[in-house]
């Protein structure tokens, strides 16, 4: 007898967790992703700030599914779903399924602002982290040839737009990279010409955190010479400037956009109802309404609990992945689907060395204790044992010697990987 086939689109936190939770089940699982790796997003900003190499924050999916036995991986771009015929369409061909799990995550949202899409660096993909690292290193290198101080200042101004965890972490790490590490490589670098600016439209940073932690994060960034601009809404950007809605223009040679995210474009082609951030609205069982064998999980899904959409976070994605795996096993054994219940483990954000904020239930940590908590949680959760050791060595090296090993400007040119 042929076994039911589960197809999972997306090998991120939701899809990979779902595949892992189907291990040993009497089902054949096919996991599909456009990339051949699983990315540990919380440390992506450390690739962009030259502390970690890509191989330390991403692992090949084939390596991760090898121990699972009943899970196969294929690399392909998922294009759409024919729900009547139960076929997933990909750029490599059609894939039939008995159960389908859609977990293609989210993407940067520039809110239709073409100038941002053209000039700002995103920080969602591994390639974007590498592009930003190259840009920062190349900009500092290039200033060595520039005699005109005003131009040097523009080239040495890095504006990060968005005061959420990614923006806060990137700003802190970038300021430390330039002031502690690159300063040693470039003795002639005048640090008074360097600006790292965090631009946020609201009147505070880290909007999902307790007000006390928001203030602590702001103070900590300012101590690291990051300029925090609150109530500053970006209107337009050019290659070397940001215009704010207030009319103020900031000369900035590198602009990083972390202020908007929306669900992967797959949601829009399903013909399903979309909620905020273009997330696919699902039943409380994470099934697509009217399609009981199709599940949507992770950032792509707009699951609502107590009237509130669940945040786009890793614990949500992983818990949804586990719930859907359990439901598919139950359905394959002629059972029914159960409702998803989310358990919130808390959130945290780091602000460079010795400082982080963490909100775990009633516990609030900031400064050094928050940082130790952040280090421990992230080290434990890095995807493989090998990565864990490498990450630990790089962190310790940076901490002790103010040195980041990965200061190479490397471009894949020409890129013949397809
Ligand atoms: C820089 C950054 C830092 C973050 N830090 C934290 C943090 O510290 N803590 C936290 O809880 N959350 C954090 N997040 C959010 C977290 O990464 C997401 O909530 C989580 O990754 C969602 O899991 P997912 O499986 O839905 O999506 P993802 O993990 O993004 O996985 C989606 C997968 O689908 C693949 N894919 C997309 N489209 C297609 C397609 N059309 N065809 C084939 N494959 C496709 C992608 O390649 C990817 O592998 C961070 C996000 C970013 C960008």
**Residues 311-323: tens digit of each pLDDT:** 999 999 999 999 9
Q: Is 199:161 a contact under the CB 8 Å cutoff?
A: yes
pLDDT exceeds 80 at position 62? yes
- Find the helix packing angle between 367-381 and 385-401, rounded to 10°: 150
User: Among 11, 13, 39, 125, which is best to mutate for testing ligand 1, by the most ligand atoms less than 8 A from CB?
Assistant: 13
pLDDT digits (tens, 9 = 90+) for 206-226: 999 999 999 999 999 999 999
5-108+262-332: which CATH topology? FAD/NAD(P)-binding domain (3.50.50)
- Quote the distance between the C-alpha of residue 184 and its chain's center: 30
What's this model's pTM, rounded to 2 decimal places?
Answer: 0.95
**Predicted local confidence at residue 417, as pLDDT:** 65
From the alpha carbon of 313, which atom of ligand 1 is closest? 19
- d(CA 340, ligand 1 centre) in Å: 20
**Predicted local confidence at residue 186, as pLDDT:** 94
From the alpha carbon of 90, which atom of ligand 1 is closest? 42
Could you tell me the two tokens for 31? 């996991």
User: Among 30, 107, 263, 313, which is best to mutate for testing ligand 1, by the most ligand atoms less than 8 A from CB?
Assistant: 313
Q: Mean pLDDT score of the chain, rounded to an integer? A: 94
- d(CA 214, ligand 1 centre) in Å: 24
- d(CA 324, ligand 1 centre) in Å: 18
pLDDT digits (tens, 9 = 90+) for 356-413: 999 988 889 999 999 999 888 888 877 677 788 888 888 888 888 888 777 888 887 7
Q: Is 56:391 a contact under the CB 8 Å cutoff?
A: yes
pLDDT digits (tens, 9 = 90+) for 230-279: 999 999 999 999 999 999 999 999 999 999 999 999 999 999 999 999 99
**Predicted local confidence at residue 383, as pLDDT:** 67
pLDDT exceeds 80 at position 416? no
Separation CA 156–CA 191 (nearest Å): 9
**Predicted local confidence at residue 67, as pLDDT:** 95
98-124: average pLDDT: 96
- d(CA 383, ligand 1 centre) in Å: 14
Handedness of CA 257, 259, 265, 266 (dihedral sign): positive
pLDDT digits (tens, 9 = 90+) for 172-190: 999 999 999 999 999 999 9
Ligand 1: residues with CB < 6 A are 9-15, 32-35, 41-42, 44-45, 77-78, 103-105, 123-124, 165-166, 264, 266, 298-300, 312-315, 317
Dihedral (C-alpha) 81, 85, 91, 92: value to the nearest 10 degrees? 140
- d(CA 144, ligand 1 centre) in Å: 37
2-26: average pLDDT: 97
From the alpha carbon of 123, which atom of ligand 1 is closest? 1
Separation CA 179–CA 162 (nearest Å): 22
pLDDT digits (tens, 9 = 90+) for 326-367: 999 999 999 999 999 999 989 999 998 889 999 988 889 999
Banded model confidence at residue 119, pLDDT cuts 50, 70, 90: very high
- d(CA 76, ligand 1 centre) in Å: 17
pLDDT exceeds 70 at position 418? no
From the alpha carbon of 261, which atom of ligand 1 is closest? 53
- d(CA 13, ligand 1 centre) in Å: 7
pLDDT over 70 percentage in the chain: 98
Catalytic residue list:
169
pLDDT over 90 percentage in the chain: 83
Of the candidates 120, 121, 95, 124, which has an alpha carbon nearest to the alpha carbon of residue 108? 124
Banded model confidence at residue 8, pLDDT cuts 50, 70, 90: very high
Extents of the domains making up the chain: 5-108+262-332, 114-259
Cis peptide before 414 (omega within 30 of 0): yes
From the alpha carbon of 170, which atom of ligand 1 is closest? 1
Separation CA 418–CA 416 (nearest Å): 6
Say whether domain 114-259 belongs to CATH 3.50.50.100: yes
Please state the φ and ψ torsions of residue 73, each to the nearest 5 degrees: -115, 140
User: Among 7, 8, 10, which is best to mutate for testing ligand 1, by the most ligand atoms less than 8 A from CB?
Assistant: 10
pLDDT digits (tens, 9 = 90+) for 270-291: 999 999 999 999 999 999 999 9
Which residues does residue 82 pair with via DSSP β-bridges, in sequence order? 87
Residue nearest to ligand 1 atom 23, measured at CA: 13
Residue nearest to ligand 1 atom 3, measured at CA: 42
């Amino acid at each position: 007898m042929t076994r039911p086939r589960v197809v999972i689109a997306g090998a991120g936190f939701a899809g990979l967790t779902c595949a892992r939770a189907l291990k040993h089940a009497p089902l054949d699982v096919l996991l599909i992703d456009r990339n051949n790796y699983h990315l540990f997003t919380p440390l992506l900003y450390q690739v962009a700030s030259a502390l970690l190499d890509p191989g330390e924050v991403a692992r090949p999916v084939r390596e991760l599914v090898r121990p699972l036995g009943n899970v196969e991986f294929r690399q392909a771009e998922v294009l759409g779903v024919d729900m009547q015929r139960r076929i997933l369409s990909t750029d490599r061909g059609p894939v039939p399924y008995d159960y389908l799990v859609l977990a293609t995550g989210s993407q940067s949202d520039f809110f239709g602002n073409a100038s941002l899409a053209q000039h700002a660096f995103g920080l969602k993909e591994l390639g974007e982290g590498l592009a930003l690292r190259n840009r920062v290193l190349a900009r500092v290198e290039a200033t060595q040839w520039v005699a005109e101080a005003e131009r040097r200042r523009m080239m040495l101004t890095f504006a990060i737009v968005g005061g959420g965890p990614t923006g806060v972490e990137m700003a802190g790490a970038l300021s430390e990279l330039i002031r502690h590490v690159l300063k040693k490589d470039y003795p002639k670098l005048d640090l008074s010409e360097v600006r790292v600016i965090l631009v946020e439209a609201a009147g505070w940073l880290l909007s999902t955190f307790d007000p006390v932690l928001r203030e602590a994060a702001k103070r900590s960034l300012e101590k690291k010479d990051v300029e925090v601009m609150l109530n500053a809404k970006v209107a337009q950007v050019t290659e070397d400037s940001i215009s704010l809605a207030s009319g103020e223009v900031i000369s900035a040679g590198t602009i990083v956009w972390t202020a908007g995210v929306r669900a992967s474009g797959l949601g829009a082609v399903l013909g399903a109802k979309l909620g905020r951030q273009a997330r696919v609205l699902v039943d409380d069982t994470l099934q697509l309404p009217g399609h009981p064998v199709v599940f949507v999980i992770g950032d792509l899904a707009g699951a609502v609990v107590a009237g509130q959409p669940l945040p786009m976070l890793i614990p949500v994605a992983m818990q949804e992945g586990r719930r859907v795996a359990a439901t598919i096993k139950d359905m394959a054994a002629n059972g029914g689907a159960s409702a998803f219940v989310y358990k919130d483990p808390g959130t945290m954000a780091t602000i460079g060395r010795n400082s982080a904020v963490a909100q775990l239930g009633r516990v609030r940590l900031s400064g050094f204790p928050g940082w130790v908590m952040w280090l421990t949680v992230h080290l434990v959760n890095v995807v493989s044992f090998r990565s864990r050791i490498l990450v630990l060595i790089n962190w310790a090296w940076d901490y002790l010697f103010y040195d980041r090993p990965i200061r190479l400007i490397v471009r894949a040119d020409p890129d013949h990987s397809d």
